[in-house]
């Protein structure tokens, strides 16, 4: 899987590049600003771009705007943004074009390197990866009365949130200290309440997560 990294801190940029390379990624480019990111994506067409939200010159939201531009111009490239802060508005902007191939992780919570590289790989493969804190704040937003997610129980929302993090039923069961069969029952309830009927051509788990993130 080919990746590019956009991070203005030389130490962090080189560190991310080395980590990804050692984890089996082909690191096509390491850049320090939004302009360099767009040029690198256009030139290398990577599977995934890892982008710091705050890039030069103002260090406000240049990275976010560049990430959205990558999603618009190069839909085949997944975008995983890194931030020091939780901003639900940032997550909503990223999800504006759908939840496929997008992620939002907090820098100071990327402590498990295996989880981080798995998240990069998941986003590069068209999936999603959101920090649990970001998921929690998305869930906490007030929902419209006609939102089908409003019909989910607290436990079902918790299970769906863990699905959105990319967890398997087994991993969800361990996290919640319940039997895997219990998680399967919650999944069945979630699919029913979201109107996701069994169809060989559809992946209900993926559709549920997309519905959840886009809500």
Instruction: Return the structure tokens found at 172.
Output: 């969800």
| Greatest mean pLDDT range, 38-47, 52-61, 91-100, 189-198 | 38-47
Q: Where are the domains of the chain?
A: 2-134, 142-214
DSSP classification of residue 166: T
Q: Is 104 left (phi over 0), alpha (psi -120 to 50) or beta?
A: beta
Q: Please state, in angstroms and rounded to a whole number, the distance separating the CA atoms of residues 17 and 180.
A: 37
Q: Answer yes or no: CATH 2.40.30.20 is held by domain 2-134.
A: no
Write out the two tokens for 118.
């798995």
Dig out the tokens for 175 from the structure.
Answer: 């996290």
Q: What is the domain class of 142-214 according to CATH? A: mainly alpha
The C-alpha atoms of residue 155 and residue 177 are separated, in whole angstroms, by 12
Average pLDDT over residues 147-153: 76
- CA distances in angstroms from 58 to 6, 34, 82, 86, listed in the order given: 15, 11, 17, 19
For residue 8 the two structure tokens come to: 């203005």
pLDDT tens-digit profile of 81-91?
A: 998 877 777 77
The reported pLDDT for the residue numbered 96 is 74
The candidate with the shortest Cα–Cα distance to 75, out of 49, 50, 54, 93, is: 49
Give the per-residue pLDDT at 142: 47
pTM metric for this prediction: 0.68
pLDDT tens digits along 124-149: 999 888 887 777 676 655 455 456 67
* Distance (Å, whole) CA 29 – CA 203: 34
What is the C-alpha to C-alpha distance for residues 12 and 15, in angstroms, rounded to an integer? Answer: 5
- Burial level of 1, CB count in 10 A (0-12/13-18/19+)? middle
C-alpha 61/C-alpha 194 separation (Å) is: 34
CA dihedral 10, 119, 195, 159 (to 10 degrees): -110
Question: pLDDT at position 145, please?
Answer: 47
- How far is it, in rounded angstroms, from Cα 51 to Cα 183? 34
């Amino acid at each position: 899987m080919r990746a590019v990294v956009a991070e203005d801190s030389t130490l962090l940029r080189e560190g991310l590049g080395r980590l990804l390379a050692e984890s089996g990624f082909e690191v096509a480019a390491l850049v320090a600003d939004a302009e360099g990111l767009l040029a690198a994506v256009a030139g290398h067409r990577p599977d995934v771009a890892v982008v710091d939200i705050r890039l030069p010159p103002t260090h406000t939201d240049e990275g976010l705007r560049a990430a959205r531009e990558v999603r618009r111009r190069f839909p085949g490239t997944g975008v995983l943004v890194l931030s020091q802060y939780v901003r639900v508005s940032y997550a909503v902007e990223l999800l504006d074009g759908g939840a496929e191939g997008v992620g939002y992780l907090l820098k100071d919570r990327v402590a498990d390197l295996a989880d981080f590289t798995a998240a990069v790989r998941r986003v590069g493969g068209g999936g999603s990866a959101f920090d649990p804190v970001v998921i929690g704040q998305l869930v906490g937003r007030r929902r419209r009365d006609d939102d089908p997610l409003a019909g989910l129980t607290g436990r079902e929302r918790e299970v769906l949130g863990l699905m959105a993090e990319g967890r398997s039923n087994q991993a969800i069961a361990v996290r919640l200290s319940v039997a895997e069969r219990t998680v399967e029952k919650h999944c069945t309830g979630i699919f029913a309440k979201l109107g996701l009927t069994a169809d060989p051509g559809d992946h209900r788990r993926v559709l549920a997560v997309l519905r959840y993130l886009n809500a």
